[in-house]
Structure 1
Amino acid sequence: MLKRTISMTAAGAALVVAAVAGCGSNAQPIQVNLAASEVLAQAAQKTAEVTSYTVDAVVNVTHPQEGNGKVQGRMLYQSKPQLSVDLTLDSLDMGGQSLPGGMRAVLQGDTVYVKVEALKDLLGATKSWIKVSLSEMGGGSAEVNQYLSQIQQFDLGNMTKLVTASQDVKSVGTESVNGEDSTHYSGTFPVDVAVQQLPADKQEQAKAGLAELKDVKFDIWVAADGLPRKLALNGSKEGATLDATLFFKGYNEAVNIQAPPADQVGELPKGTTN
């Protein structure tokens, strides 16, 4: 049961990470006469420079053996003065099993704080939050290490790089996204080609996060500053499907990511690592 709960938590975080698009900064208005592929190339460059943002995400998956799953949540991200992430999953259902109370994780530097009520009960923890140093997890259990590694993988520029592999992207009109006029682009990208746009150490994770789908259809809404405001991904392979929608806002705006109060934080109980 402990392995199942930790694995569900890891899977939920992995789904969000897999679907999250890249973000950028130093935005200048894009030229309206750019080809769709050029817009995506500019977006990939701009999103790599963003230092903070907020994203809301809904991810639905189906699998012929493992069943259906849904993840819904939000994330705050900042890269300076240190890498910090505040991830809240309100809904986490995998294969007919749900995670009561959802999940929250706060990453600051090389320390992650995890709040999962079901995990707390199973581990026998006495505090609401569990604190784990990423640098000390080399000898930890495989499940916990898998989960913690997912929390570190918020390099959100990578998804924008993936869509630049599209050979059929085109503009399909202008729409309002959260009150902002945005150009809607639609296309597909082959996963095996797209992941080659990423650094070598990110490619295997990207393949796993996209469930090794053969082709992915995407729709991306880009505002006048060249940054995405919405991204939708759809893919399938041998009965497995992925359907994700993400909304982005607050580029380079100040975010407040705080570690939980010290009196609510405990260490990972002994006996949970191998």
Structure 2
Amino acid sequence: MLKRRNSLATAAAGAALIAAAVAGCGTNAQPIQVNLAASEVLAQAAQKTAEVTSYTVDAVANVTHPQEGNGKVQGRMLYQSKPQLAVDLTLDTVDMGGRNLPGGVRAILQDDTVYVKVEALKELLGATKPWIKVPLAEVGNQGQVNQYLGQIQQFDLASVTKLVTASKDVKQAGTESVNGEDTTHYSGTFPVDAAVTQLPADKQEQARTNLAELKDVKFDVWVAGDSLPRKLTLNGSKEGATLDATLLFKNFNEPVNVEVPPADQVGELPKSTVN
């Protein structure tokens, strides 16, 4: 359950999706020093991401399942922990098992309130306004709302970086440019069970749900000279189920503009749906 702001942002706010500022990123960052072992680089990246106070991530995840069919989630998340917690998640594509959500999903978290905009959810709950406001304390009791907010962890910088530190076989795979920045490429695998235990306790349940059908996950991560990842890919499979995800991170510690929807566009969660 997402019971408080840390769980909901699932980041340093937070999150392993979390707070002093890190030095700004230059566009020509130098590759990580080659004298550092690959595992040390991952540990250093995990430490650095835990200090990041804001970032933007673009992500796409493709999944297959022998019973539930194919699916795709694609979107962007803006995150900040200071001066106040704020998350703006936009999922342009939400397609699971051949069923998609026209118009996608939008979720905004600010302090102790979540605003959700999903046309299908609006109809299901009988809401009369485009946006539904849910106090954070009630999110865990709202299955339909919680389902969409669970996507936040999959976009979370600190969570996904922490997962890869469970790798026992990571190695350097060269240097590459990612969005115009010099990075060092690292590749390896991690066992899901061991990786999930690297996360804070309040984030492990959601992570297990996201990775439930997988055993070992192959990853590639591109780390810039400031020890922060610019790109991360995850690939895994088990008994016919597969995951193929790519996340691109940028705008570390830059100002984030997250605005709640206009009051006249926001309705309360219908009381009949509250458990």
User: What TM-score comes out, normalization by structure 1 length?
Assistant: 0.85
Counterpart in the other structure of 1:73 = 75
1:266 maps onto 2:249 in alignment:
no
Counterpart of 2:22, as a letter, is N
**What's the offset of the Cα at 1:199?**
2.1
Does residue 241 in structure 1 map to residue 237 in structure 2?
A: no
Q: 1:152 to 1:32 in 2, by over 3 A?
A: closer
Gaps of 5+ in 2: 1-8, 25-29
8 A contact 1:51–1:251 mirrored in 2: yes
Q: Distance in 2 between matches of 1:43 and 1:194?
A: 15
**Alpha carbons of 1:142 and 1:195: their partners in 2 closer, same or farther (altered >3 Å)?**
same
- Counterpart for residue 132 of structure 2: 130
Evaluate the alpha carbon distance shift between residue 242 and residue 154 of structure 1 in structure 2; reply closer, same or farther with a 3 A threshold: closer
Q: 1: CA distance between counterparts of 2:18 and 2:59?
A: 14
**1:117 Cα offset (Å):** 1.5
* 1:256 and 2:254 aligned: no
Q: Return structure 1 stretches of 4+ with deviation > 4 angstroms.
A: 20-25, 27-30, 145-155
Q: Which amino acid aligns with 1:39?
A: V
Separation of aligned partners in 1, 2:43 and 2:208:
21
* Alignment pair present for 1:56 and 2:58: yes
SS of residue in 2 equivalent to 1:271: helix
Indicate conservation of the 8 Å contact 2:59/2:155, yes or no.
no
Q: Which residue of 2 aligns with 1:206?
A: 207
Q: 1:135 to 1:201 in 2, by over 3 A?
A: closer
Residue in structure 1 matched with residue 226 of structure 2 by the alignment: 225
Are the aligned partners of 2:10 and 2:159 in contact in 1 as well (CA < 8 Å)?
Answer: no
Q: CA deviation at 1:210?
A: 1.2
Cα distance in 2 between the residues matched to 1:152 and 1:231: 14
| 1:8 equivalent in structure 2 | none
**What is residue 171 of structure 1 aligned with on the other side?**
172
- 2:184 maps to 1:188: no
C-alpha spacing 1:60/1:104, structure 2 compared with 1 (3 Å): same
Q: Which amino acid aligns with 1:270?
A: K
Shift in CA distance, 179/148, structure 1 to aligned 2, threshold 3 Å: closer
**How many residues get paired?**
257
- Tell me if the contact between 1:58 and 1:70 (Cα under 8 Å) persists in the aligned partners: yes
Residue in structure 2 matched with residue 3 of structure 1 by the alignment: none
Distance 1:80 1:91 in 2: 29
Match for 2:48: what amino acid? K
Secondary structure of the structure 1 residue equivalent to 2:261: coil
For 1:152 and 1:163, how far apart are their aligned partners in 2? Answer: 15
Paired residue secondary structure (1:193)? helix
Q: Hey, what's the Cα distance between the residues in 2 that align with 1:55 and 1:180? A: 16
Fraction of identical pairs, as percent? 79
| Deviation readout 1:191-220 (Å, 9 max, x if unpaired) | 111122222332222211112411000000
Shift of 1:109: 1.2
Shift in CA distance, 168/236, structure 1 to aligned 2, threshold 3 Å: same
The answer to whether the 8 A contact 1:23-1:228 is kept is: no
- The answer as to whether partners of 1:188 and 1:216 remain within 8 angstroms in 2 is yes
The whole-number CA distance in structure 1 between the counterparts of 2:52 and 2:34 is 22
Q: Residue type matched to 1:116 in 2? A: V
Offset of residue 266 of structure 1: 0.8
Report the alpha carbon displacement of residue 162 of structure 1 after superposing the two structures with TM. 1.3
Establish whether residue 117 from structure 1 lines up as the match of residue 119 from structure 2.
Answer: yes
Q: Distance in 2 between matches of 1:151 and 1:64?
A: 25
Structure 1 spans left out of the alignment, 5+ residues: 1-15
Contact map agreement 2:17 2:160 (CA 8 A) in 1: yes
Q: Is the alpha carbon distance of 1:91 and 1:206 closer, same or farther for their aligned partners in structure 2, counting shifts above 3 Å?
A: same
Give the aligned CA root-mean-square deviation in angstroms: 2.6
Amino acid in the other structure paired with 1:156: L
8 Å Cα contact 1:167/1:189 also seen in 2:
yes
Structure 1 position 92 matched with structure 2 position 94: yes
Out of 8, 26, 33, which is 2:22 matched to?
A: 26
Pairwise CA distance, 1:225 = 0.8
- Normalising to structure 2: TM-score of the pair? 0.85
